[in-house]
Amino acid sequence: MMPNLRTAEGLLSAEEAAKVAFTDVKLAIQQKQNFKLEAAAGAGKTYTLIQTLNWLLRDRDTFLPLEHQRIACLTYTNVACEEIISRTDANPLIFVATLHKFLWEMVSPYQEALSHELSTIDYWKSAFQENPSAVTLPVEYDLGFRRIHEDRVSIHHDDVPIVATALFENRKFRKLITDKFPIILIDEYQDTPEGLIQSIISRTDSGNEPLVGLFGDAWQTIYDKRCGSIDHPSLKIIEKPSNFRSDHSIVDLLNRMRPELIQTPSDEADTGTVKIYHTNNWPGQRLTHHFKSQISHQAVRTCLDWIRSNEGSRTDNAKTLMLTHSVIAQEMGYPSLPKIYRDNDTFARKEDPVIAYLIDVLEPAIKAFQEQRFGDFFHLVSGARASLRAPSDKKRWSDLFEAIILARTTDTVSEVISLLLNQDLFAIPSAITHLQSKLERHNSSEAVDEEELASSRRLTEYRDLCEIQYSEIIALRNYMDEGSVFSTKHSVKGAEFDDVTVVVGRGWANYDFGKMLSWYNARHSLNAEDRVRFERWRNLFYVAVSRARRNLTLLIVQDLDETAMQTLEDWVGTENIASIEFSDDENVSEVKFEGSDSSF
Q: What is the pLDDT of residues 531-553, one digit of tens each?
A: 999 999 999 999 999 999 999 99
CA torsion 20→22→26→27, rounded to 10°? Answer: 20
Whether 183 has a pLDDT exceeding 90, the answer reads yes
Mean pLDDT of the residues in the chain: 87
CA torsion 23→25→29→33, rounded to 10°? Answer: 120
State mean pLDDT over 366-374. 91
Whether 178 has a pLDDT exceeding 90, the answer reads yes
Residue 572: CB partners within 8 Å, gap ≥ 6? Answer: 253, 256, 274, 276
Residues in the chain: 600
Centroid of chain to Cα 252: 26
Could you report the per-residue pLDDT of 486-507, keeping only the tens digit for each?
Answer: 677 666 777 899 999 999 998 7
Residue 68: pLDDT band by 50, 70, 90 thresholds?
A: very high
CA torsion 81→221→195→239, rounded to 10°? Answer: 80
Whether 416 has a pLDDT exceeding 50, the answer reads yes
Residue 311: pLDDT band by 50, 70, 90 thresholds?
A: confident
Whether 281 has a pLDDT exceeding 60, the answer reads yes
CA of 241: how far to CAs of 3, 45, 207, 495, 552, in Å?
11, 10, 31, 19, 21
Burial of 16 (0-12, 13-18, 19+ CB in 10 A): middle
On whether the CB atoms of residues 503 and 511 are closer than 8 A, the answer is no
- CATH hierarchy code of domain 260-324+488-593: 3.40.50
**Amino acid in the structure at residue 374:** F
Whether 157 has a pLDDT exceeding 70, the answer reads yes
By DSSP bridging, strand 273-278 and strand 264-265 are unpaired
In the chain, CATH 3.40.50.300 sits at 14-110+171-244
State mean pLDDT over 37-41. 95
Confidence at residue 11, expressed as pLDDT on a 0 to 100 scale: 80
Confidence at residue 491, expressed as pLDDT on a 0 to 100 scale: 66
Whether 39 has a pLDDT exceeding 90, the answer reads yes
Helix axis angle for 374-382 and 363-370, nearest 10°, is 160
| Separation CA 146–CA 438 (nearest Å) | 12
Confidence at residue 384, expressed as pLDDT on a 0 to 100 scale: 47
Whether 23 has a pLDDT exceeding 90, the answer reads yes
| Separation CA 586–CA 578 (nearest Å) | 18
Residue 353: pLDDT band by 50, 70, 90 thresholds?
A: confident
Q: Which of 328-332, 358-362, 437-441, 576-580 has the lowest mean pLDDT?
A: 328-332
Whether 348 has a pLDDT exceeding 90, the answer reads no
Percentage with pLDDT > 90 across the chain:
59
Confidence at residue 313, expressed as pLDDT on a 0 to 100 scale: 60
Residue 203: pLDDT band by 50, 70, 90 thresholds?
A: low
Confidence at residue 345, expressed as pLDDT on a 0 to 100 scale: 65
Percentage with pLDDT > 70 across the chain:
88
Residue 524: CB partners within 8 Å, gap ≥ 6? Answer: none
State mean pLDDT over 561-566. 97
Residue 112's CB is within 10 A of a number of other CB atoms, namely 10
| Separation CA 237–CA 194 (nearest Å) | 19
| Separation CA 254–CA 558 (nearest Å) | 22
For 531-548, b where at least 16 C-beta lie within 10 A, e where not — what string? eebbbbbbbbbbbbbbbb
Whether 350 has a pLDDT exceeding 60, the answer reads yes
CA torsion 114→213→238→22, rounded to 10°? Answer: -170
Confidence at residue 485, expressed as pLDDT on a 0 to 100 scale: 64
| Region at 225 (left for phi over 0; alpha for psi -120 to 50; beta for the rest) | left
CA of 480: how far to CAs of 51, 305, 319, 322, 473, in Å?
32, 22, 13, 16, 11
Whether 286 has a pLDDT exceeding 80, the answer reads yes
Confidence at residue 147, expressed as pLDDT on a 0 to 100 scale: 79
On whether the CB atoms of residues 186 and 74 are closer than 8 A, the answer is yes
Confidence at residue 411, expressed as pLDDT on a 0 to 100 scale: 95
Confidence at residue 227, expressed as pLDDT on a 0 to 100 scale: 79
Question: pTM of the predicted model, to two decimals?
Answer: 0.79
Confidence at residue 344, expressed as pLDDT on a 0 to 100 scale: 56
Of residues 573 and 442, more confidently modeled: 573
Residue 333: CB partners within 8 Å, gap ≥ 6? Answer: 471, 472, 475, 478, 479
Confidence at residue 415, expressed as pLDDT on a 0 to 100 scale: 96
Residue 290: pLDDT band by 50, 70, 90 thresholds?
A: confident
- Work out the angle at residue 547's Cα, subtended by the Cα atoms of residues 356 and 194, and round it to the nearest 5 degrees: 65
| Separation CA 361–CA 31 (nearest Å) | 48
Nearest alpha carbon to residue 343 among 214, 469, 490: 490
| Separation CA 442–CA 243 (nearest Å) | 52
Residue 8: pLDDT band by 50, 70, 90 thresholds?
A: very low
Side-chain-facing half-sphere of 305: CA atoms under 13 Å: 10
Residue 422: pLDDT band by 50, 70, 90 thresholds?
A: very high
State mean pLDDT over 525-532. 96
| Separation CA 270–CA 42 (nearest Å) | 15
On whether the CB atoms of residues 74 and 99 are closer than 8 A, the answer is yes
On whether the CB atoms of residues 19 and 238 are closer than 8 A, the answer is no
Classify domain 14-110+171-244 by CATH architecture.
3-Layer(aba) Sandwich (3.40)
Confidence at residue 317, expressed as pLDDT on a 0 to 100 scale: 85
State which H helix or E strand residue 356 sits in.
helix 353-357
Confidence at residue 10, expressed as pLDDT on a 0 to 100 scale: 65
On whether the CB atoms of residues 297 and 327 are closer than 8 A, the answer is yes
- Work out the angle at residue 101's Cα, subtended by the Cα atoms of residues 98 and 106, and round it to the nearest 5 degrees: 125
Could you report the per-residue pLDDT of 78-118, keeping only the tens digit for each?
Answer: 878 999 999 999 999 999 999 999 999 999 999 999 999 99
On whether the CB atoms of residues 491 and 349 are closer than 8 A, the answer is yes
- Work out the angle at residue 250's Cα, subtended by the Cα atoms of residues 249 and 252, and round it to the nearest 5 degrees: 65
Could you report the per-residue pLDDT of 227-249, keeping only the tens digit for each?
Answer: 788 888 889 999 999 999 999 99
Confidence at residue 204, expressed as pLDDT on a 0 to 100 scale: 59
